[in-house]
Chains A and B, each alone.
Chain A
């Protein structure tokens, strides 16, 4: 039997506020355990929450970006359960009246078609602290660090509109791009700034009724998310094909061992007894405030991509890739303007530069090669000062901090050999030193001569230390060879 996969996501997005959602304590990552847990975060007796206006503004920005309903009133509720990383014994969150209602996020599938993923709602809530299971303490114990307790989160809940792990990853990357472009999240997955819960079910191909779903929680990389979905889909199909039934449960995925397992302990008696938090009145969002936020909304990835195509004439798929982050597209734009060749700018940014950055695990803003410098490098290709091949060497040198484009070209004498006289000399000597290759060329079928030319070109480039202008050298070489064929003197 063939099976369809149905996936819905719940994404926890840590908002990049300076302070926590309900207290004035810092949210800076990496501080010593419990050094950023103030009286409110520790739920000391008599303390009270006061909502951070920035968290609400961030929610509104997200709502506007995903074309969502933004109700004028939202309400915080208490979700009651005991856990050591939850100091109050309840999480302050939203249920009945979330800050953001229905919305949608379009994604571009691999075949280029656009699919709209519906957003069920998004709500504000506080993060919990961390339980550490190993450390400098008795192995029978756990250590609790409450620095993360109270960091503002937006939980975005999608409809079950995704139908494969690949789609889920495309969506997740799009969301990552969206929230970082909005500036509401730093996007640092390794620090847990974006965490995905995936709801997965399968059903026989072509049927409409949803199967029983499981929820795999807390996936903090695209790779783990993809692996976890594939694993879970496979597990569910195995169960169903063997006549079993899937149990609705919460699961975890271990990215190191590549295994998933059930989290039964959290399942027992989860009666959360939600009720409106009596310390927090409803939150009002006025039309004028909405308008104000709308005016400050930065350019979003889709808008940016459209603009890059219009302004620079580059291809849509390159534009989509460059528009993922503001920093990357800004980098590209500087390269394009400096080089005066947008297509080359796109190719070099997405190709040579990105592969070096990825290998070094560096973000674009930490690129050792400035956008201006890459622009000048491309200009030197376009004005025939250097070849593309030499340019890659120059890029490596700039990357290592060995100088600027022009200095490196000059100091290392990399300037392309364009002088006809000098080139002629090299071509002539290569022809006389390689009689076998020349006769192979002459005797070859005319259609296959082009290939034979390559060997001689290689010799020319070798002899010129790569500096021969390949186009001119090629012209000269074939001209000379044809003279030989036509017996036009020697």
Chain B
């Protein structure tokens, strides 16, 4: 499985990972190695086989519509590097 340099750049954009131009080729060749490994999947005969998303066969257990969480804003916002008046701050979001 061969990738293009642009593929790696595009993956970086989707995954929001800054990729250094100088390392693209390294990343590319290692990704290609891994994809070569996973491509062994194509040898499997999976006609009429359902995809299995989860090891459990059952259904979801739901919860009651009751408030269980208290306001822990202070504790949570101590973890952030940029908070003001209760808001998390980020560089301007352009709509």
Please measure, in the bound complex, the distance between the C-alpha atom of A464 and the C-alpha atom of B40, giving whole angstroms: 101
For residue A37, give the distance in angstroms from its CB to the closest CB of chain B: 7
Interface residues contributed by chain A, number (CB under 8 Å): 59
Quick check: B90 and A51 within 8 Å, CB to CB? no
Q: B13 an interface residue at 8 Å Cβ cutoff?
A: yes
Quick check: B63 and A37 within 8 Å, CB to CB? no
Contact among A142, A275, A282 for B60, CB-based, below 8 A: A282
Quick check: A136 and B84 within 8 Å, CB to CB? yes
List the B side residues contacting A32 at CB < 8 Å.
Answer: 86
Quick check: A142 and B62 within 8 Å, CB to CB? no
Name the segment of A143-151, A304-312, A343-351, A468-476 touching the other chain: A143-151
Considering the complex, give the chain B residue whose CB is closest to the CB of A23. B69
Query: Assuming the A-B contacts A131-B93, A281-B54, are A143 and B63 also in contact, with contact meaning beta carbons closer than 8 angstroms in the complex?
Result: no
Query: Assuming the A-B contacts A39-B76, A144-B89, A271-B14, are A281 and B65 also in contact, with contact meaning beta carbons closer than 8 angstroms in the complex?
Result: no
Interface size for chain B: under 10, 10 to 19, 20 to 34, or 35 or more residues? 35 or more
Q: A387 an interface residue at 8 Å Cβ cutoff?
A: no
Q: B67 an interface residue at 8 Å Cβ cutoff?
A: yes
Q: B81 an interface residue at 8 Å Cβ cutoff?
A: no
For residue B41, give the distance in angstroms from its CB to the closest CB of chain A: 16
Q: A252 an interface residue at 8 Å Cβ cutoff?
A: yes
List the B side residues contacting A276 at CB < 8 Å.
Answer: 53-54
For residue B13, give the distance in angstroms from its CB to the closest CB of chain A: 6
Q: A113 an interface residue at 8 Å Cβ cutoff?
A: no
List the B side residues contacting A143 at CB < 8 Å.
Answer: 84-85, 87-89
Q: A487 an interface residue at 8 Å Cβ cutoff?
A: no
Quick check: A144 and B88 within 8 Å, CB to CB? yes
Contact among A36, A142, A265, A275 for B90, CB-based, below 8 A: A142
Query: Assuming the A-B contacts A33-B85, A35-B71, A37-B76, are A54 and B65 also in contact, with contact meaning beta carbons closer than 8 angstroms in the complex?
Result: yes
Greatest chain B CB density within 10 A among A42, A133, A284 is at: A42
Quick check: B93 and A25 within 8 Å, CB to CB? no
List the A side residues contacting B94 at CB < 8 Å.
Answer: 265
> A9-50, CB under 8 A of B: which get 1 and which 0?
000000001110001111000001111111110101000001
Query: Assuming the A-B contacts A35-B73, A82-B16, are A24 and B93 also in contact, with contact meaning beta carbons closer than 8 angstroms in the complex?
Result: no
Please measure, in the bound complex, the distance between the C-alpha atom of A83 and the C-alpha atom of B93, giving whole angstroms: 9
For residue A331, give the distance in angstroms from its CB to the closest CB of chain B: 29
* 20 contacts across the A-B interface (CB closer than 8 A): A19-B69, A24-B69, A37-B73, A37-B76, A38-B69, A40-B69, A53-B64, A54-B65, A84-B88, A136-B85, A137-B85, A141-B90, A141-B91, A141-B92, A143-B84, A252-B95, A265-B95, A269-B14, A281-B58, A284-B59
Using a CB–CB distance below 8 Å, which chain B residues touch chain A?
10, 13-14, 16, 53-54, 56, 58-69, 71-73, 76-77, 84-95
